[in-house]
A and B are shown apart, each in its own frame.
Chain A
Amino acid sequence: MSRPGIPPVIIAAAAIAFASQAAMAGEPNATRQRELSRLLVHECGACHGMQLRGGLGPALTPGALKDKPSESLVATILSGRAGTAMPPWQRFLSEDDAQWLAAKLVEGGVDAVR
């Protein structure tokens, strides 16, 4: 069975990302974005639900995150939250990666990365 292709939405997102590359220096490249999308669905999804609607960890949908400042989301992703099950990901993610992930969560582009 063939691996599912890259959904057009991601290609579109990647194209937009590239177009705005100058404005957002350090944004992960297209290959990295695909890896991050996969990580989001599968690894983050293990706790937050594959569609990020919540599980052991809270929902990470745009609605759930709308009042949360992006710096705090990035900090949570990189450093985790002590005393909870949310682990720090800085061993595997750069600051840019975490920023891209946080933006992705807030935009709600997640269904597209399934």
Chain B
Amino acid sequence: MRCVERFSAVLAAFALAVAAQAADLRGTGDLGVVVERAAGRLQIVDTTARKALSRVDGLGDLSHASVVFSRDARYAFVFGRDGGLTKVDILEARIVRRVIQAGNSIGGAVSQDGRVVAAQNYAPGGIKLFDADTLELLADIPATSGADGKPSKVVGLADAPGRRFVASLFDAGEIWVIDARNPRAPAVERHRNVGRQPYDGLVTPDGRWYLAGLFGEDGLALLDLWHTERGVRRVLPDYGRGEEPLPVYKMPHLRGWAIAGGYAWLPAIGRHEVLVVDTRDWREVARVPVAGQPVFVIARPDARQVWVNFAFPDSARVQVIDAETRSVAATLSPGRAILHMEFTPRGEEVWLSARDDDRVVVIDTATLATVASLPVAGPSGIFFTSRAARIGF
């Protein structure tokens, strides 16, 4: 009798141990994080099960927070407005390291080889390089001063091939290419007078081009990363705020810009339009009228659809553009204050954050039906680990 009891206790313990092992062993390819911005918290989500797995607290001020992933897609590096850089283990749902690295930061990037994390800072303006393992500071590169004499805010930081980073200086009007092969002594190549107030930038998915949007004048600054010695040139002279600038209630984001199928889909600044640009010659080929001032314009991974969300006061809508006809195919009302959109790795579903409904909504991109809805307090950014393998993300 007693023997049987003991045996079953051992069996139960064994079963538990096996279960724990199985839970530990899993990939991260279908995981991601959702920023609960007011709570300073992340939710770790599973895009196959369409549910939240766990939460990680204590990340500070996450307004405008952005996230990049380690090369092994296990760790999320979270950049907060309070200058915090936090390394989160997605599998164990815990903070591994956290440093306060600046007064005010908005984002960062991971180097091509995965060894270096770069942070772009507003105040004091500059770029810092960290060891991706330990978050040890490797280099501090203060930005050139703007007209007000203070170091310029740094925007549009992205990783580029050749273990480089590229960034724009908002106040100083410069683009920097940073060679981080030796991250303790990075080499900075400065491109001056690229245009007034570059406000964001991106590296194209093939890693060849860096594009910066200009707030202070029309046009885009373009740098060929195969030939940086040729310098920055101006393209799309009609892209911008134009002769009679309209008020812009939220800066459009370029990071998520849809560059797909040979075309770039760009949010107009102030105007209710999405611009379609041929990336072979950077000429505008069409304009698609949309329901508000676009914030994110993002292509489904197969480039068949382009999804658009909008600034205040039109943020309760999302539009789906048919990439073939270049017209709006559907207008959705998935919730109040749609702040962000993220496709699953191959795009069968898209996750939207509805801030004022405290929900994340999951939509089937073929039927446009809502397939799940997750409770999240004031969600803002949604970031899936598939970004780990993409240039410029």
Contact = CB atoms under 8 A, between A and B. Distances in A.
Interface of A: 1, 3-4, 41-43, 45-47, 49-51, 53-56, 80, 83, 85, 87-88, 92, 114
Contacts of B249: 43, 87
Which size class do B's interface residues fall under?
20 to 34
Nearest to B81: A49
Contacts of A114: 38
A42 B378 CA distance: 10
B250 A50 contact: no
Given A50-B37, A54-B104, A55-B106, A88 B247 contact: yes
Interface in B255-303: none
Interface in B194-240: 197, 199, 215-216
Contacts of A4: 38, 377
Contact of B250 (A41, A46, A83): A46
Interface of B: 37-38, 61, 63-64, 81, 104, 106, 122-123, 153, 170, 197, 199, 215-216, 247-251, 312-313, 337, 355, 358, 375-377
B377 A50 contact: no
A113 B238 CA distance: 41
B201 to A, nearest CB: 14
Contacts of B248: 85, 87
Given A4-B38, A49-B63, A50-B63, A55 B250 contact: no
Given A50-B64, A54-B104, 13 more contacts: A1-B375, A1-B376, A42-B337, A45-B63, A46-B64, A49-B61, A49-B81, A50-B61, A54-B123, A55-B104, A80-B247, A85-B215, A87-B247
A16 B319 CA distance: 43
Contact of A53 (B37, B104, B153): B104
A12 B251 CA distance: 34
Given A54-B123, A55-B81, A87-B248, A43 B312 contact: yes
Nearest to A45: B63
13 contacts: A46-B63, A47-B250, A50-B37, A50-B38, A50-B63, A54-B123, A55-B106, A55-B122, A56-B122, A56-B170, A85-B199, A85-B248, A92-B313
Contact of B251 (A51, A54, A85, A88): A85
A92 B313 CA distance: 9
Nearest to A38: B356
A43 B356 CA distance: 12
Contacts of A54: 104, 122-123
Nearest to A88: B247
A34 B312 CA distance: 17
Nearest to A52: B63
B250 A43 contact: yes
A47 B199 CA distance: 12
Contacts of B377: 1, 4
A17 to B, nearest CB: 23
B106 A42 contact: no
Most buried by B among A1, A80, A114: A1
Contacts of A80: 247
A45 to B, nearest CB: 6
Nearest to B36: A1
B376 to A, nearest CB: 7
Contacts of B199: 56, 85
Contacts of A49: 61, 63-64, 81, 104
Contact of B63 (A51, A83, A88, A92): A51
A41 B61 CA distance: 12
Contact of A3 (B215, B250, B313, B358): B358
Given A50-B37, A50-B63, A42 B355 contact: yes
